[in-house]
Amino acid sequence: LAKSRTKNKQVSEFAQLMITDHTAVNKQASALAKKLGVKPEESATSQSLKSAARKNVANLKTLKGAAFDKAYTDNEVAYHQQVLDAIDKVLIPNARNAELKDLITKVRPAIAAHLEHANMVQSSLAKK
């Protein structure tokens, strides 16, 4: 959505990074689930993240220009903070499978980098 809505180069580049990195992580998670012969289960954490994402997309579809860029970036900051919190407080402590725990642990630095990048874009937009 952001790639087609924004005219801001920083927002566009960040959105492309999110598409690329999240697609790669989803493939890794799917491959691990297939290897382990398990189907990922919904949890309160995943349901909460998905519900918030649906609401945010609906809101973003109503916005254009600078208002879109600000809302998108604010959402990305909040989302990545929620994911980091979930990783640290729920996913890693409760992972019972060593390979799953390893994947989550390996993904964490990328999520932290996404949060830092989103914060930089957010700060840049606030200065305009």
Q: Would you state the pLDDT for residue 21?
A: 94
**Quick one: DSSP state of residue 127?**
T
Q: How far is CA 10 from the centre of its chain?
A: 17
- For the chain, give every domain's residue range: 2-126
Q: Would you state the pLDDT for residue 72?
A: 96
CA–CA separation, 25 and 103 (whole Å): 9
**pLDDT, tens only, 106-116:** 999 999 999 99
Token pair for 53: 């994402």
Asked if the 2-126 domain carries CATH number 1.20.1260.10, the reply is yes
| Contacting residues for 96 by C-beta, under 8 A, at least 6 apart | none
**pLDDT, tens only, 11-33:** 999 999 999 999 999 899 889 88
- Average pLDDT of the chain is 92
CB atoms within 10 A of CB 72: 28
78 pLDDT tier (thresholds 50, 70, 90): very high
Backbone Cα Rg of the chain: 16
